[in-house]
């Protein structure tokens, strides 16, 4: 076992998959000589060469489109989108091409591509360097969407993504890069796609979250325990497909659900989770399904007080739980 950070887990996963499979390569802005804006690819170009760690032009459309073409002829690209805020130029390639290739060819072609997307707030990045837009891809059949919250899952899910045959959008929260550490095995391992994880068992209320919000939820749970409230925390980690069975089973046990996402409320991942709970577990509920989310405003404010006002946090989550317990 060794204790590493979230970003070190991502770097290790890429290096090990490149070592294991010569068809794996990286492409993105500043990822080669510079080692990436956040140093996720530091040292990899020196180790694997310029043909496998490619510094691209500043063109997300090229990064995604070129990766799709490479995937169609047998390669396994890991393109990097430097900030989620700038993924929109690649939307046509990802949604109209990558997501539909398997279906439109009757399964004759696949697109084994893993798009790494750096995202998230609480870093003072402002409107164009803090966005988090997983809901754009969550709704698209043909895509797998992953969002790890721990170093173990960051490494294991990335390995699973690279080894699969379908396009994956792999979100990395920049606030987690160096703020969380965890012991992980030295030997090779993967984390199954489509399975959630119970981070904390409880009996009074189910909290569902992913990414940075898992850590905010754990902070809230610690505070709630002082008031005698036992909360269960489920880390989705895989957003599409997501673990219906685990979440519904927990809600049926606790009879209450708090759904937490960093993104704005309308049209988010948790809207779908909420609808599923209402459709399939309504008779078990003792209180309304409640969401704790970012605000429905253009995200994300630059001024620290406004950013704090926008984002969900432990206090907001704990208050929502206490209100729910009044039912």
What would the pLDDT profile of 156-185 be if each residue is shown by its tens digit? 999 999 999 999 999 999 999 999 999 999
- Mean predicted confidence (pLDDT) in 8-36: 98
Q: At 323, is the pLDDT very low, low, confident or very high (cuts 50, 70, 90)? A: very high
**CA–CA gap between residue 243 and residue 238 (Å, rounded):** 8
Q: At 301, is the pLDDT very low, low, confident or very high (cuts 50, 70, 90)? A: confident
Q: Could you check whether 2-184 and 197-324 share the same CATH topology?
A: yes
With H, G, I as helix, E, B as strand and everything else as coil, classify residue 95: helix
**CA–CA gap between residue 172 and residue 10 (Å, rounded):** 9
Task: Reply yes or no on whether the pLDDT at 259 is more than 80.
Answer: yes
pTM of the model: 0.97
CATH of 2-184 among 3.40.50.970, 1.10.3720.10, 3.40.50.1950, 2.40.160.20 = 3.40.50.970
Query: What are the pLDDT digits (tens) for 185-217?
Result: 999 999 999 999 999 999 999 999 999 999 999
With H, G, I as helix, E, B as strand and everything else as coil, classify residue 237: coil
State residue 324's pLDDT score: 96
**CA–CA gap between residue 215 and residue 177 (Å, rounded):** 13
Residue 308 annotated to the active site:
no
Strand order in the sheet with 144-146: 53-55, 24-28, 76-81, 114-119, 168-173, 144-146, 238-240
Which residue in 129, 215, 244, 308 is the catalytic one?
129
Residues paired with residue 78 on neighbouring β-strands, in sequence order: 26
State residue 89's pLDDT score: 97
Query: What are the pLDDT digits (tens) for 76-105?
Result: 999 999 999 999 999 999 999 999 999 999
**CA–CA gap between residue 90 and residue 12 (Å, rounded):** 26
CATH class held by domain 197-324: alpha beta
Spacing of C-alpha 122 from chain mean position:
16
Percentage of the residues of the chain whose pLDDT score is greater than 70 = 100
Residue predicted with more confidence, 39 or 300: 39
| The CA-based dihedral angle spanning residues 61, 65, 70, 71, taken in that order and rounded to the nearest 10 degrees | 120
State residue 298's pLDDT score: 82
State the chain's mean pLDDT as an integer. 97
**CA–CA gap between residue 22 and residue 153 (Å, rounded):** 23
**CA–CA gap between residue 247 and residue 281 (Å, rounded):** 10
Q: For residue 289, give Cα distances in angstroms to 131, 233, 239.
A: 26, 15, 19
Question: What are the boundaries of each domain within the chain?
Answer: 2-184, 197-324
């Amino acid at each position: 076992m060794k204790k590493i950070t979230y970003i070190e887990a991502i770097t290790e996963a890429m290096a090990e998959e490149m070592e294991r499979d010569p068809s794996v390569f990286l492409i993105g802005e500043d990822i080669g000589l510079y080692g990436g804006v956040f140093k996720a690819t530091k040292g990899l170009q020196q180790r694997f060469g310029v043909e496998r760690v490619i510094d691209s032009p500043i063109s997300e459309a090229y990064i995604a489109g070129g990766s799709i073409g490479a995937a169609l002829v047998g390669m396994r690209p890991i393109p990097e989108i430097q900030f989620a805020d700038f993924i929109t130029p690649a939307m046509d390639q990802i949604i109209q091409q990558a997501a539909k290739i398997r279906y439109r060819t009757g399964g004759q072609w696949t697109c084994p591509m893993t798009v790494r997307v750096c995202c998230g707030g609480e870093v003072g990045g402002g409107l164009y360097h803090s966005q988090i837009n997983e809901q754009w891809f969550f709704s698209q059949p043909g895509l797998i969407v992953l969002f790890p919250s721990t170093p173990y899952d960051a490494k294991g899910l990335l390995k699973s993504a690279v080894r699969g045959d379908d396009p994956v959008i792999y979100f990395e929260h920049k606030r987690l890069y160096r703020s969380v550490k965890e012991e992980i095995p030295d030997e090779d391992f993967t984390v199954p796609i489509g399975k959630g994880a119970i981070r904390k068992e409880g009996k009074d209320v189910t909290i569902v979250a992913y990414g940075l919000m898992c850590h905010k939820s754990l902070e809230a749970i610690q505070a709630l325990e002082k008031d005698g409230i036992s909360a269960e925390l489920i880390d989705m980690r895989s957003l599409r497909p997501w673990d219906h069975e685990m979440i519904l089973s927990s809600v049926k046990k606790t009879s209450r659900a708090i759904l937490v996402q960093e993104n704005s409320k309308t049209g988010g991942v948790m809207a779908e989770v909420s609808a599923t709970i209402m459709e399939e577990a309504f008779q078990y509920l003792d209180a309304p399904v409640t969401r704790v989310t970012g605000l429905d405003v253009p995200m994300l404010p630059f001024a620290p007080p406004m950013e704090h006002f926008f984002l969900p946090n432990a206090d907001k989550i704990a208050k929502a739980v206490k209100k729910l317990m009044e039912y």
